[in-house]
Chain A
């Protein structure tokens, strides 16, 4: 039963409530680093890495803030933690795995201002994400964060693949660049809308 609920969180965060197409978070990197599939994959990996760690750390900090009744410092504490975390990950990666650092290095500084990290951290800390009937706790929060990151990666990679093709097309002059990319993203979002309500059906199948 409980495993099924986690599976449902996983599925719904990737397809039904995709972070980019239905929540509008992380649009800047989605539009900014989606010209090549390689870079898109690198960015997705870096986001998944930082998002998971950031969710865990901010969840613990939220507990600390609540115990001292300092909830109003949430935004400021979270963004500083995320910024520090990104720096730390960068330093550690450089020392421990130069190969991985080579691959992810350029994307790491960009992640601080990626709103899907702060957004997901706040959603998990407040317990307002869709936890499919489970108690919002650290475990379901992390499952949600990982699935969200995968959803982001999926969206980014598909979009980059389309844009690679698009670059070879003969697009009318006024629509070149960002306008045609946005229209493409709109069509992709429409495709993802087809998953709407599937989570309810799955919940029934799983007997939740």
Chain B
């Protein structure tokens, strides 16, 4: 077959045709992947909530979104097995740090997971396990309502990640924000638990 010559009608037709086919194909791919993408998001969230609450079948009953004192969004997931709160701190070493924290009814921390971070790989990125049960900076079972979480350098009782104080501070700030949102929400619901407190930074 001979190559089509570069005349104006030829060029217009070909470009339009290619664009239309491309857009159509993409619309089709978009349609078939939309479902799995939504499922993925829901499943990731459910797995996160289960892991921070230490259960395997928590069902989200209510989701509410509030703002902390700096205007950052905090999302509270109330489930039949406890409450999980997603909070962020914008001042990590490399940017925003997003955590999901699970609380027991008395306000103690049941578990946490780092959802998003931009910390240095190998240093600040250790936050994912450093503060877990049995690790050096263990915060599980602590109650931020009794004493705000802070690194030992700032007078608190949590060991900061070696060489990553900024990340550790940002992480603990986010956990504190999560706790205050949780305390505020459970107070208005009239449930037992920690006393309401104004979030502070």
Binding site for B on A (CB under 8 A): 72-73, 76, 130, 133, 196-197, 200, 203
Within the assembled complex, what's the spacing in Å between the Cα atoms of A165 and B166? 39
Contact yes or no, A196 B93, CB < 8 A: yes
Enumerate 20 A-B pairs (CB-CB under 8 Å) in ascending A order: A72-B26, A72-B27, A72-B29, A72-B30, A73-B23, A73-B26, A76-B22, A76-B23, A76-B26, A130-B95, A133-B70, A133-B90, A196-B93, A196-B120, A197-B93, A197-B166, A200-B91, A200-B93, A200-B166, A203-B91
Minimum CB–CB distance from B1 to chain A (whole Å) comes to 27
Minimum CB–CB distance from A106 to chain B (whole Å) comes to 25
**Residues 14-31 of chain B, each 1 if its beta carbon lies under 8 Å from chain A, else 0:** 000000001100110110
Closest to B30 in A: A72
- Chain B residues with CB below 8 A from A196, complex form: 93, 120
Within the assembled complex, what's the spacing in Å between the Cα atoms of A200 and B22? 45
Within the assembled complex, what's the spacing in Å between the Cα atoms of A73 and B23? 8
Closest to A22 in B: B94
Binding site for A on B (CB under 8 A): 22-23, 26-27, 29-30, 70, 90-91, 93, 95, 120, 166
Minimum CB–CB distance from B27 to chain A (whole Å) comes to 8
Within the assembled complex, what's the spacing in Å between the Cα atoms of A72 and B29? 10
- Chain A residues with CB below 8 A from B70, complex form: 133
Within the assembled complex, what's the spacing in Å between the Cα atoms of A178 and B166? 37
Within the assembled complex, what's the spacing in Å between the Cα atoms of A197 and B29? 42
Minimum CB–CB distance from B4 to chain A (whole Å) comes to 21
Contacts A72-B26, A73-B23, A200-B93 known; list 5 others, CB within 8 Å.
Answer: A72-B30, A133-B70, A196-B93, A197-B166, A200-B91
Closest to B95 in A: A130
- Chain A residues with CB below 8 A from B93, complex form: 196-197, 200
Minimum CB–CB distance from B28 to chain A (whole Å) comes to 11
Minimum CB–CB distance from B179 to chain A (whole Å) comes to 22
- Chain A residues with CB below 8 A from B120, complex form: 196
Minimum CB–CB distance from A207 to chain B (whole Å) comes to 13
6 smallest A-B Cβ distances: which pairs? A72-B30, A130-B95, A72-B26, A133-B90, A200-B91, A197-B93
Within the assembled complex, what's the spacing in Å between the Cα atoms of A148 and B181? 36
Within the assembled complex, what's the spacing in Å between the Cα atoms of A150 and B90? 25
Closest to B23 in A: A73
Within the assembled complex, what's the spacing in Å between the Cα atoms of A133 and B95? 10
Within the assembled complex, what's the spacing in Å between the Cα atoms of A200 and B95? 9
Within the assembled complex, what's the spacing in Å between the Cα atoms of A55 and B176? 37
Within the assembled complex, what's the spacing in Å between the Cα atoms of A197 and B167? 10
Minimum CB–CB distance from B90 to chain A (whole Å) comes to 6
- Chain A residues with CB below 8 A from B27, complex form: 72
Closest to B93 in A: A197
- Chain B residues with CB below 8 A from A73, complex form: 23, 26
- Chain A residues with CB below 8 A from B22, complex form: 76
Within the assembled complex, what's the spacing in Å between the Cα atoms of A73 and B25? 11
Within the assembled complex, what's the spacing in Å between the Cα atoms of A133 and B96? 10
Within the assembled complex, what's the spacing in Å between the Cα atoms of A196 and B94? 8
- Chain B residues with CB below 8 A from A203, complex form: 91
- Chain A residues with CB below 8 A from B166, complex form: 197, 200
- Chain B residues with CB below 8 A from A130, complex form: 95
- Chain A residues with CB below 8 A from B30, complex form: 72
Minimum CB–CB distance from A8 to chain B (whole Å) comes to 12
- Chain B residues with CB below 8 A from A197, complex form: 93, 166
Minimum CB–CB distance from B170 to chain A (whole Å) comes to 9
Within the assembled complex, what's the spacing in Å between the Cα atoms of A72 and B37? 13
Within the assembled complex, what's the spacing in Å between the Cα atoms of A12 and B25? 40
- Most chain B CB neighbours (cut-off 10 Å) among A72, A73, A130, A203: A72
